[in-house]
Amino acid sequence: MEFPFDINQIFTERVSFLDQNLAADRWTARRPDLQANLATVIDELGRASAKAQQLTAAVTSASKLQSQRHQLYLLKDGESSGGRGAVVGFLKVGHKKLFLLVSLLFLLTPPPVPGPAVTLIAVQDRHGVHVEAEPLCVLDFYIAENLQRHGYGLELFDFMLQHKNVEPGRMAYDRPSPKLLSFLEKHYSLTQNVPQVNNFVVFEDFFFNRAAAV
């Protein structure tokens, strides 16, 4: 995605990390003109992602990023647009408190030896057995249309996994599109999703290798 301003001036790294402060670095934070351009980029990306997913409203915008405690990774191509750079895509993550129905496999598997892992307390109610957890969630993910299926999504996702030190199977996915489900299967062999009553998808891996109390 190209913009009528210098992308390399706003985003100095190939992958930039943005949070509530909405500044790629201290330099951007002190320049209102760069901040305004940065907000334009985020808004444009949010709209493009919503369009690609056929959503009626954007899940991501500069103002939402400022008001919610979510975090955004932005991938640029610094060489294109005559050296001004172009935006390749973004990935937004954040923690959400979720009630997740537990997989049958998990219930039938003996609890592992308790260790330093997160303890999941399972509770039975009329929907089945669920746990309350606050996992890191993928909330929005978009690679520019003409750049999809070139490995950029993987580059961005892997960057986030390393930065957060998290396994993809330990994350939850908010209303994943068929393309994202295919992406997760191809790159991380995540196939067995556990049916939920909310819009989130988690995989079998989510429930395993933790200390459990049912």
Binding site residues, ligand ACO, CB under 6 A: 49, 52-53, 138, 140-143, 148-154, 173-177, 179-180, 182-183, 186
Q: How far is the CB of 210 from ligand ACO (least distance, A)?
A: 23
Around 57, how many Cα atoms within 13 Å sit in the side-chain half-sphere? Answer: 3
Q: How far is the CB of 29 from ligand ACO (least distance, A)?
A: 27
Q: How far is the CB of 71 from ligand ACO (least distance, A)?
A: 14
Q: How far is the CB of 106 from ligand ACO (least distance, A)?
A: 23
Q: How far is the CB of 25 from ligand ACO (least distance, A)?
A: 25
- Cα dihedral: 108, 208, 102, 91 (round 10): -160
Closest to ligand ACO by CB, 11 or 200: 200
Closest to ligand ACO by CB, 34 or 42: 42
Nearest-angstrom CA–CA distance, 97 and 180: 22
Closest to ligand ACO by CB, 23 or 93: 93
Around 84, how many Cα atoms within 13 Å sit in the side-chain half-sphere? Answer: 9
Nearest-angstrom CA–CA distance, 205 and 152: 25
> Which residue type occupies 37?
N
Please identify the residue of the shown chain whose CB is closest to the bound ligand ACO.
153
Closest to ligand ACO by CB, 142 or 203: 142
| 24, two tokens | 């790629």
Closest to ligand ACO by CB, 28 or 49: 49
Query: 166, 136 in Cβ contact below 8 A?
Result: yes
Nearest-angstrom CA–CA distance, 107 and 102: 7
